[in-house]
Each structure stands twice: as structure tokens, then as C-alpha cells.
């Protein structure tokens, strides 16, 4: 069935985005401040992350198929968590399809998405996609030929109807407020709003603690989460976010000793540059299993990729957004010891466009010596597309 709102959609080109940059303080306010235990490499020296991308909860709640596909998305995540037992789940944006949600508060659906990790006591981190805070889009069939909507709306869950979408800040406040021990998400610095979900997580070393040599708090991996926009504003990573990244990385990792990984929702234009031709075979050095559409990139590139390519400590970028792509390809960066890998996740949810089998990209990082490997775990348990991101 064709569902009219189901595409990554063209970039919402708002007027030029004026972003006021106040002083950017180096801030990893998160873990310690809230009493959460720090993230740490496991006894085997590994740290495993499951990426849940494009769940698109809450579609067509007034029909049978909407709730049925949400139940199917629950099952995908349960199967992946059973098979992989990750240390962290990253929800890579488009947790909900807000433009198909006539409810005043989308947190209900957002909460259902994160309940997969919460139910198993697995910590998680979220970033925003372009659908999460969209305003409700009226289906054309809800209007009569003279343009007047019918008097009785399809009933939404919860009390009454709401059509404006739930702002990013409200979604994030509800998530972090209700999950103080397991949510590692953060709204990020106010200076970067309307971008919300810009923050850094540190994964601490295991070995140094075991040696008891006073380096108990040494990070061995830095994970940067950025809001790539969309929905209520343009699909971009702003130059203010680039400056924020620069400040954070200089503060936390001045000598580039600690490996770094990057997570956001919408592929940057660099993805389109390295992409194998749509619908062609995925050949080495790229690794993946579906290549069924063109990359739908951010509206502009304002310096983030240059900033990442210059830092040899940045090993890979992970995005969702394109449900018909699941590959990883290397991106040429001059003067790098190792390549910078650009990876798509795998469409995890039964919501959103596309009928490709559902699964999740898994990422496993080893501390000493540092390595990052990735693969895709399917709903039915199959594993494929193993790739080494550090070689």
C-alpha cells in the first residue's frame, strides 16, 4: 500500500538559519551529574552497541495496521537484544512518525521505543531524526471535495487530539526525566538549539581500573551524538555544531589519543560521494547488503565532514534515514592513518517506508588494542555484512 507520508522527504528549506553562538563550554555534564554509572568496557575488553534506526512508531493509530506494525517493531528489537546482549543501545532518530500522530504528546510513542532497552536494563542514548517533532500532516482523504474536514476526527490514543507535533526539547525532557538511571541522552547546549541531542558520552577503560593505578576515570572511547536537523527546521549540521565539536574534542581529547565515533540521523553529502550507484552491487571496499535507493543527504555541508576527516581519532560515522541502504564505505581523508568509515544503520522498525527485512547494525569496539568491527543482525537471527572499521 502506498503511504503518502512515507519517504525521507525533501529537505525543509527554511529561511537561512541564524544561529547565535554563545561561549561553548566544554561540557560532559551528563553521566556523573545524574548518578548514572559510567559506561565502561566489559571484562573481555569489549563494548558492544546496537543501533536501532527508523522505528517510526505511532503511524495510523486509528487503523489495524498501525498498532500491528508497532508490535512488530517491538519484536525486532527484542530479537536483536536477545541475540546480541549489547552494552548500549543507540536510537538513531525517527523513533516516531510525528507527522502521522494526531496526539498532543508524542512522548507516549517515544517512550515505547526506548522501553525495549529499558525493559532489559540496557543503557541507551537517543538522537533526533527529521520525523520526530514534525507537525501532523492531514491526510487528503480527511477532507471533503470543498476542502472542509469531516466533523469527527479519527480518535487518537490518549486524551484528545493535537496537531502541532511535540517539540524536541519536550520529548527529550520526558525521556531523561523518567529514566534517570538508564537514559544517557541529553538535550545538549542551549546555544545549539533548535538542534537538540548534541552531547558526548565517554566509555571508560576497563584495564586501567583493574590495575588500580589511579586512572580509574580514563575514557577509552568517545561517542559524539549530533542532531542533523529536519522536521521543525532545516536538515543540516550547523557550523555552530562544528565549532561545538571542535571545542569538545580539543577539551576531551587534545592529543587524539582516544578513538572517537560519531552518530546522527541524516547522511551528510559525503555519503552521496562515496555511495555505490543506487541499485548496483555493493563492491569492496564497501560492505553491505541493500543498496536500493539514492542517498537522501542533508541540505548543506557546513564543515562537519572536514572537521571529522582531519581527526585520525575519528573512526566512523553512523546514520539512519535511508531505509533502503545498509552499507559502510570508506571516505577519503588526506593525512589520515586509517580511513574514516561512513556507515548506514539498518532499518529496524516496521514503521516508515520500505519492506526490506528488518534488522539492526551492531558495533563492537575492543579497547586494547583498539578495534571497531560491525555487522548486521536480522530479526530472524541471521548475521551478515561483517566489516572491520579499523585496519
Q: Footprint of ligand NAG on this chain (CB under 6 A)?
A: 105, 107-108, 111, 170, 174, 178, 357, 378, 380, 382
Strands (E), 244-313: 260-263
Give the nearest distance from C-beta 110 to ligand NAG in angstroms: 8
Q: How far is the CB of 108 from ligand NAG (least distance, A)?
A: 5
Residue with Cβ nearer ligand NAG (106 or 316): 106
Q: Which is nearer to ligand NAG, 269 or 382 (CB)?
A: 382
Q: Which is nearer to ligand NAG, 103 or 266 (CB)?
A: 103
Are residues 95 and 125 in contact, defined by beta-carbon separation less than 8 angstroms?
Answer: no
Please report how close the Cβ of residue 369 comes to ligand NAG at its closest, in angstroms.
33
Chain centroid to Cα 80, Å, comes to: 17
Distance CA 226, CA 303 (A): 14
28 or 289, CB closer to ligand NAG?
289
Nearer to ligand NAG, 208 or 347 (CB): 347
Comparing CB distances to ligand NAG, the nearer of 380 and 388 is 380
Spatial separation of the C-alpha atoms in residues 104 and 124, rounded to whole Å: 25
Which residues, at least 6 apart from 205, have a Cβ–Cβ distance to it below 8 Å? 40, 41, 215, 218, 219, 220, 367
- Shorter beta-carbon distance to ligand NAG: residue 174 or 307: 174
Burial of 91 (0-12, 13-18, 19+ CB in 10 A): buried
Q: Shortest gap between Cβ of 75 and ligand NAG (angstroms)?
A: 14
Decide whether 354 or 357 has the Cβ nearer to ligand NAG: 357
Q: Which of 74, 13, 84 is nearest to 49 (CA)?
A: 84
Identity of the residue, 83 or 108, whose beta carbon is nearer to ligand NAG in the bound complex: 108
In three-state form (DSSP H/G/I as H, E/B as E, the rest C), the secondary structure along 309-373 is: HHCCCEEEEEECCCCCECCEEEECCCCCCCCEEEEECCECCCCCCCCCCCEEEEEEEECCCCEEE
What does residue 206 show for φ and ψ, rounded to 5 degrees? Answer: -85, -50
User: Shortest approach of ligand NAG to residue 376 CB, angstroms?
Assistant: 9
Between CA 275 and CA 328 the distance in angstroms is 9
Q: CA quadruple 194, 301, 283, 322: dihedral positive or negative?
A: positive
Q: Cβ of residue 68: shortest distance to ligand NAG, in angstroms? A: 20
d(CA 221, CA 264): 17
Q: How far is the CB of 67 from ligand NAG (least distance, A)?
A: 18
Nearest alpha carbon to residue 240 among 25, 16, 20:
20
Nearest-approach distance from CB 82 to ligand NAG, in angstroms: 15
Cβ atoms of residues 199 and 227 within 8 Å: no
**Residue 170 CB, nearest approach to ligand NAG (Å):** 5
Amino acid at each position: 500500500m502506498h503511504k503518502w507520508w512515507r519517504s525521507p522527504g525533501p529537505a525543509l528549506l527554511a529561511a537561512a538559519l541564524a544561529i547565535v553562538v554563545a561561549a561553548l563550554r566544554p561540557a560532559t555534564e551528563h553521566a556523573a551529574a545524574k548518578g548514572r554509572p559510567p559506561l565502561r568496557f566489559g571484562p573481555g575488553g569489549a563494548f558492544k552497541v546496537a543501533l536501532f534506526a527508523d522505528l517510526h512508531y505511532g503511524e495510523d493509530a486509528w487503523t489495524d495496521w498501525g498498532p500491528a506494525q508497532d508490535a512488530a517493531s517491538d519484536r525486532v528489537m527484542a530479537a536483536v537484544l536477545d541475540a546480541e546482549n549489547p552494552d548500549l543501545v543507540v536510537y538513531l532518530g525517527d523513533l516516531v512518525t510525528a507527522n502521522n500522530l494526531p496526539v498532543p504528546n508524542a512522548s507516549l510513542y517515544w517512550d515505547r521505543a526506548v522501553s525495549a532497552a529499558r525493559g532489559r536494563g540496557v543503557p541507551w542514548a537517543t538522537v533526533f531524526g527529521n520525523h520526530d517533532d514534525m507537525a501532523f500532516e492531514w491526510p487528503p482523504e480527511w477532507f471533503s471535495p470543498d476542502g472542509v474536514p469531516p466533523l469527527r476526527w479519527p480518535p487518537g490514543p490518549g486524551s484528545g487530539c493535537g496537531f502541532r507535533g511535540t517539540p524536541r526539547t519536550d520529548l527529550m525532557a520526558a525521556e531523561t526525566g523518567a529514566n534517570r538511571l538508564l537514559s544517557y541522552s541529553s538535550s545538549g547546549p542551549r546555544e545549539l538549539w533548535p538542534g537538540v541531542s548534541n552531547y558526548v558520552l565517554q566509555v571508560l577503560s576497563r584495564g586501567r581500573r583493574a590495575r588500580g593505578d589511579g586512572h580509574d576515570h580514563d575514557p577509552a572511547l568517545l561517542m559524539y551524538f549530533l542532531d542533523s536537523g529536519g522536521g521543525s527546521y532545516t536538515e543540516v549540521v550547523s557550523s555552530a555544531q562544528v565549532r561545538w565539536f571542535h571545542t569538545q574534542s580539543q577539551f576531551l581529547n587534545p592529543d587524539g589519543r582516544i578513538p572517537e565515533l560519531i552518530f546522527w540521523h541524516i547522511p551528510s553529502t559525503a555519503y552521496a560521494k562515496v555511495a555505490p550507484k543506487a541499485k548496483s552491487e555493493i563492491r569492496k571496499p564497501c560492505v553491505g547488503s541493500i543498496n536500493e535507493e539514492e542517498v537522501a543527504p542533508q541540505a548543506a555541508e557546513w564543515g562537519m565532514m572536514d572537521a571529522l576527516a582531519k581527526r585520525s581519532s575519528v573512526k566512523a560515522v553512523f546514520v539512519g534515514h535511508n531505509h533502503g541502504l545498509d552499507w559502510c564505505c570508506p571516505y577519503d581523508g588526506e593525512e589520515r592513518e586509517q580511513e574514516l568509515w561512513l556507515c548506514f544503520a539498518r532499518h529496524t522498525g516496521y514503521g516508515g517506508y520500505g519492506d526490506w527485512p528488518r534488522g539492526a547494525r551492531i558495533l563492537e569496539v575492543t579497547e586494547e588494542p583498539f578495534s571497531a568491527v560491525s555487522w548486521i543482525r536480522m530479526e530472524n537471527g541471521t548475521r551478515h555484512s561483517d566489516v572491520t572499521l579499523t585496519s
